[in-house]
Amino acid sequence: MGLAAYAELFCQSNFSFLQGASHPQELVQRADFLAYQAIAITDECSVAGVVRAYTAIKDQQLSIKLIVGSLFKLNDEFSVILLCPNRQAYAELCRIITNARRRAVKGQYQLESWDLKSSQHCFALWLPSGQVDKDHAAAKQLQAIFKQRLWIGVQRQLTANEHRYIQHCRYLQQQYQLPITACGGVLMHDPDRLMLQHALTAIGQGKSIASLGRELLSNSERSLRCLEKINRLYPQQWLQESVEIAQRCTFDMSELRYEYPAELVPQGKTATQYLRELVLVGMHKRFAADGKLAFAIKRIIAKELKLIREMQYEYFFLTIYDIVQFAKLQHILYQGRGSAANSVVCYCLEITAVDPRQIDVLFERFISKERQEEPDIDVDFEHQRREEIIQYIYQKYGRERTAIAATVVTYRQKSAIREIGKAMGIDESQLAFFIKNIDRRDVQVDWQAQIAELGFAAESQQGKQFIYLVNEIKGFPRHLSQHVGGFIISAGPMYHLVPIENAAMAQRSIIQWDKDDLGSLGLLKVDILALGMLSAIRKAFELVNTHYQHDWSIAKITKLGDDPQVFKMIQQADTVGVFQIESRAQMSMLPRLKPKCYYDLVVQIAIVRPGPIQGDMVHPYLKRRDGVEKFDHPSKAVEAVLKRTNGVPIFQEQVIKMAMVAAGFTGGEADQLRRAMASWKKNGELLKFREKLINGMLQRGYEFDYAERIFNQIKGFGEYGFPESHSASFAVLAYVSSWLKYYYPQAFYVALLNSWPMGFYPPAQLVQDAQRHQIQILPVCINASDYEHKFEFHNNDWAIRLGFSLVKGLKETALISLLKHRPEQGFEHVAQIKQLGLARHYLEALASANAFSCISDNRYAARWSLMDNESDLPLFRHLAEPAANYSESLVAIKKPSASETLIEDYSSLSLTLGKHPIALLREAGLLPKHVQANQLYQREHQKPLSVIGVVVGRQRPGTSKGVTFISLEDDTGCMNVIVWLATARAQKQAYLKSKILKVNGILERGDGGVTHIIAGKLEDLSHLIKQLDTRSRDFH
């Protein structure tokens, strides 16, 4: 007799957090391999894992049927699984999950019997508890609700006294005339996951594994078992019942269709018509000036609109159009980016501000039908005003119809070590010690070897188990969190489509799927992101308008074409504060890449990433571009893809396209490759594509070496690969910010300072940079400053007056009354200000920031007199300078010395406008011989020298194997120091702790005049600051 078929109806993946010990993909793969008829993924009050199972089945073309369901526990004695036979049942399940989740705090749920009573479509598998009274009550209740849709689900897990439980279930069957179906209660796809399942249970309970005893699973039977075993364990009839239930479940995830909110389209029009109208209106606005091009433009628009119609993406564009219209009305600066954003349609809809013809190389990569990707438009908004956009969306569509995509937070190295360690009973301070000292970036020594170095007995049995479990749990989901800005908006209530749960942030709700899940189902999300640079640019435009009466916009600047002056500045790496190309690594590359035009910036932004550097693309690219290295494209097809980057794949799109044209990947496969690239460090899925890619290329006549090189470059791309479509939009902002820095430096710096925190550099660095550009900076002053930094006319030019916002511990609201009551001619004495009734600590903060310097020459004395609470009494109010003893007590207060001034400046403003610490030290004769930053260019390549500076940054890019960039700053500029791992290790003290550092090293001048100092000896000079006073006193 053959084996009876079986469908697993009760199976929890690791999206039942800290219960399931297998990924949904693993479960469906194994169930398919074992020739199950179907598998239901029934995570506890969740459908978060089903999309992954669905995607795995689709991608790997598995023949197993997927059923959507969920496990619910009303209390300890009452568990039931709901399965979805059809679309209505699915909507019902989503609603029940949503209700149960929304009742509880984040991460938990609370089912109520009302939820079950409301069910009209779902199938119910009841899991009796074995407690006689409770089960009889439950049976009656469930039967009344589910009637013919109810089964008893019996599991056999080979536990003690199982025969009694089965007897009990059979009795229930007879008593209530309920059919029994077999089910497995699966938590693992493979029995080998038992150890991990134990560890997860322990983590969930917050106890050690050893102390849990019988609360753990007693064996590995809750795994997917082969049909032979299933047949031995269950009666035929029960197995048959499982298959019948599975057959009645016809719901498929592909039935889910996103329905866009109908109100986007005016009544009486179709979405297509409406979109067309809007685009045409935009076209006249955007292209009115050049009438002769109208035909070409019209043709492109027609082509794009046709594609949009075929793919039914009209609502997606309309949704974004609606949002940016709101932003425009509110004067919030925004910019769209992504593959679809670089279309003429988006330009006409004012989603982007740049004429796509200027970036014509991008033109071909609009939405690609063959690549089966969802259209990608992210919209960046000013970071300080993004909340306004979010509120608009909530207000317009309501919370029922709007939700944010989830981000699945997974176990990473640190969390894995911490939690597995705790579960195994390893001392917590020891774990903390490991975590602090494992260097994730040390590519030479893996973490296992590192903890052994730190004294962990990795060879002991416990040690091996620990390492095994940590590696196993990595990549397991821990909880759902909120995506940065991915909104989905629907026509009807969201919970018909996907369950919603509470986010950690009050008044926010998230759906149970992340962006990849949405992508797999073809559901579109709108990314509402925050970008600091947009705030800065908008503020700069306003300042320019106010003070120079020039009216600029991003569109106007880009219309002017590439400005050689601006590019000259960029080539000299004078890019502090500029978008994207301001980081250390970017700046060191600028003089080598020497960007001359907009597209060079697009390349520059994408090339200085960990990926391409790893893949050794920078050097070939530079050599080929400069004509030093000759190269041929191996074929026409490849040439078409790689021509614009000299045969070197730099952008993510190129890699995908390469796989298609050179290795014959289908659109769907290429999209899988793209996803595998994004997560290959996590799961190594990318390696699966190696054979296919190389074979594909060999078959098409490419050489093995070339094919392998391409694969290695893809690998090198890893998760850092940057899409050209995004780089193109970023390059616009990089150019516009450079342009502003060149033509309106005051406005540029003021706008940046007023938008801070953002970007790479703190205010101190920005102010220094401004000073180096001969811009006058005026100090914070009680009589001149506003809350924000502003323009002030001084010595025949615009200077920057620092604002109160720089003063630590001060609030904008606190200053309202001060600014309101500030007399025209300014305050004359401290007592006047005291009478305004500002909180004392605000006034003290102002005093320490030397804001009273115009009325009191000693900031210590100013603060001291503000601290006196006696003169607050009404009796003394009439006195301008109250109380006779006031001046007496001031005698005891001395004047700050040079170093004290420095310290006061730094502690209240984080910057000083006085002399730079290095200058002070040099004048006091405290510094050994050294070269100043502005003299470096006179020094010879490969010659030893010493430099001294304040450490303003330590950066260790994931790219370079153990190299740290230290930025040193002296009074004349910045210096780049490169510290190799070995040097850093040998001189850890100076490397880690210095505030003022002396570096003896070798000067290295690269191709484009980039100057670095390769550190040899590091010496900590931080103690010198304290000596400033004694020395300067000696001078008197």
Partner 1 sequence: MLWLYLHFPNLQLDALLSQAQGEEIAPLVILDQHSHNIVQLSAKAAATGITLNMGLGTAAALAQDLQVVPYVPRITEDKLHEIAEVLYLSTSDISFFAPQGLLLRIHNMLRLYGDLSSYWQVLKNQLAPLKLTYHYATGHSPLAANILAKKGWNTISDDLELLRRTIAQCQLSETDIAPKTQQQLMRVGVRNVQDLLRISFADMAKRFDISLVNYLGRLSGEFKHPIEFYHPPEVFKRYMELLFDVDNSQFLQGPLGHVLKVLEQFLKLRDRLTQSLIIQFYQRDHEHIEWTVGSQQGEYLASRWHALIAIKLEQLKLDSAVYAISLTTGKTQIRSPDKGDLFSAKKGSLSRLQLVSLLQAKLGEQAVVSPAINNDFRPEHAASYHSPAVAKELNHDMSPMLQAMRPSFLLSPPQPLREKVTVLYGPERLNTGWWDSRPVIRDYYIAHNEQGQWYWVFKGPDGDWHLHGVFS
Task: Kindly indicate which of the ranges 41-49, 401-409, 450-458, 996-1004 contains the residues binding partner 1, using the contact rule CB under 8 A.
Answer: 450-458
Out of 219, 254, 546, 683, point to the residue binding partner 1 (CB under 8 A).
Answer: 219
Of 161-169, 275-283, 497-505, 972-980, which segment contacts partner 1 by CB under 8 A? Answer: 161-169
Interface with partner 1 includes 210 (CB under 8 A)?
yes
Q: How many Å apart are CA 654 and CA 949, to the nearest integer?
A: 43
Nearest to partner 1 of 165, 760 (CB atom): 165
Q: Cα torsion at 621, 624, 628, 630 (round to 10°)? A: 140
**Under rule CB under 8 A, residue 895 binds partner 1:** yes
Q: Give yes or no for a contact between 200 and 262, defined as CB atoms under 8 angstroms apart.
A: no
Site for partner 1 in 280-319 (CB under 8 A): none
Report the b/e string of 534-569 with b at 16+ CB within 10 A. bbbbbbbbebbeebeeeebebbebbeeebeeebbeb
> Given the rule CB under 8 A, which of 213-221, 259-267, 283-291, 757-765 is the region that contacts partner 1?
213-221
Give the per-residue SS3 of 75-105: ECCEEEEEECCCHHHHHHHHHHHHHHHHHCC
Residue 455 interacts with partner 1 (CB under 8 A): yes or no: yes
Q: Is there binding between residue 880 and partner 1 (CB under 8 A)?
A: no
Between 207 and 821, name the residue whose CB sits nearer to partner 1: 207
Beta carbon of residue 988, minimum distance to partner 1 (angstroms, whole number): 5
Residue 828 binds partner 1 (CB under 8 A): no
Q: Which of 108, 254, 437, 887 is in the footprint of partner 1 by CB under 8 A?
A: 437
* Interacting residues with partner 1 between 959 and 988 (CB under 8 A): 988
Interacting positions 898-927 with partner 1 (CB under 8 A): 900, 904
Closest distance of CB 921 from partner 1, Å: 20
The token pair at 863 is 């603060």
Specify whether the CB–CB gap between 999 and 1007 falls below 8 A.
no
Q: How far is the CB of 325 from partner 1 (least distance, A)?
A: 50
Q: Is 215 in the site for partner 1 (CB under 8 A)?
A: yes
- Contact with partner 1 (CB under 8 A) among 113, 889, 934, 1027: 889
Shortest distance in whole angstroms from residue 525 CB to partner 1 = 39
Q: Which stretch binds partner 1 (CB under 8 A): 110-118, 723-731, 865-873, 972-980?
A: 865-873
* Residue 868 is a binding residue for partner 1 (CB under 8 A): yes
Binding of partner 1 by 504 (CB under 8 A)? no
Task: For residue 812, state whether it binds partner 1 (rule: CB under 8 A).
Answer: no
Q: Is 432 in the site for partner 1 (CB under 8 A)?
A: yes
Task: Select from 379-387, 451-459, 739-747, 814-822 the region that touches partner 1 (CB under 8 A).
Answer: 451-459
DSSP one-letter string for 174-188: HHHT--EEEE--B-B
Helices 745-755 and 724-743, axial angle in degrees (round to 10): 120
Name the minimum Å distance from CB 437 to partner 1: 5
Q: Is there a contact between 631 and 613 (Cβ–Cβ < 8 Å)?
A: no
Query: Does residue 161 interact with partner 1 by CB under 8 A?
Result: yes
Q: Does 147 bind partner 1 (CB under 8 A)?
A: no
* In the block, residue with structure tokens 């910010």: 737
Torsion-angle region of residue 367: left (phi > 0), alpha (psi -120 to 50) or beta? beta
- What would the x/- binding string for partner 1 be over residues 833 to 862, using CB under 8 A? -----------x---x-----------xx-
Contacts to partner 1 from residues 529-558, by CB under 8 A: none
CB of 199 to partner 1, least distance (A): 9
For partner 1 (CB under 8 A), the number of binding residues is 58
Q: According to the binding rule CB under 8 A, does residue 1030 interact with partner 1? A: no
Judged by CB under 8 A, does residue 212 bind partner 1? yes
Tally the residues of the chain.
Answer: 1036
Asked if 454 touches partner 1 (CB under 8 A), the answer is: yes
Residue 414 burial (10 A CB sphere; 0-12, 13-18, 19+)? middle
Residue (68 or 182) nearer to partner 1, CB: 182
Stretch that binds partner 1, among 293-301, 302-310, 460-468, 699-707 (CB under 8 A): 460-468
Rounded to whole angstroms, the Cα distance separating 982 from 604 reads: 30
- Parallel, antiparallel, or unpaired: how do β-strands 123-127 and 150-155 relate? parallel
Contacts (CB under 8 A) with partner 1, residues 364-393: none
Q: Tell the smallest beta-carbon distance from residue 258 to partner 1 (Å).
A: 46
* Sheet containing 123-127: order of strands: 7-8, 38-44, 65-75, 78-83, 123-127, 150-155, 180-183
75 binds partner 1 (CB under 8 A): no
CA 315/CA 490 separation, integer angstroms: 11
Closest CB 597 distance from partner 1, rounded Å = 45
Best CA proximity match to 873, nearest among 913, 905, 831: 831
- Would you say 343 and 304 are in contact if contact means Cβ atoms under 8 Å apart? yes
Q: CA-to-CA distance for 70 and 63, rounded, in angstroms?
A: 22
Shortest distance in whole angstroms from residue 894 CB to partner 1: 5
State which of residues 85, 184, 803, 896 lies at the interface with partner 1 (CB under 8 A): 896
Which region, judged by CB under 8 A, interacts with partner 1, from 100-108, 190-198, 708-716, 747-755?
190-198
Structure tokens at 488: 């989905």
Q: How far is the CB of 888 from partner 1 (least distance, A)?
A: 8
d(CA 255, CA 810): 56
> Segment contacting partner 1 (CB under 8 A): 189-197, 527-535, 713-721, 745-753?
189-197
Q: What ranges make up the beta strands (E) of 96-165? A: 123-127, 150-155
Which residues are 65's β-sheet partners? Answer: 38
CA angle 652, 657, 658 (to 5 degrees): 95
Q: Which of 607, 666, 669, 659 is nearest to 637 (CA)?
A: 659
- How far is 543 from 539, CA to CA, in rounded Å? 6
Instruction: State which residue, 840 or 941, has the beta carbon closest to partner 1.
Output: 840
Does 757 sit behind a cis peptide bond, omega within 30 degrees of 0 on the bond before it?
A: yes
62 versus 458: smaller Cβ distance to partner 1:
458
| CA distance linking residue 750 with residue 790, whole number of Å | 6
Binding site for partner 1 (CB under 8 A): 158-163, 191, 194-195, 198, 209-216, 218-221, 424-425, 429, 432-433, 436-437, 453-455, 461-462, 465, 844, 848, 860-861, 863-864, 867-870, 885, 889, 892-896, 900, 904, 988-989, 992-993
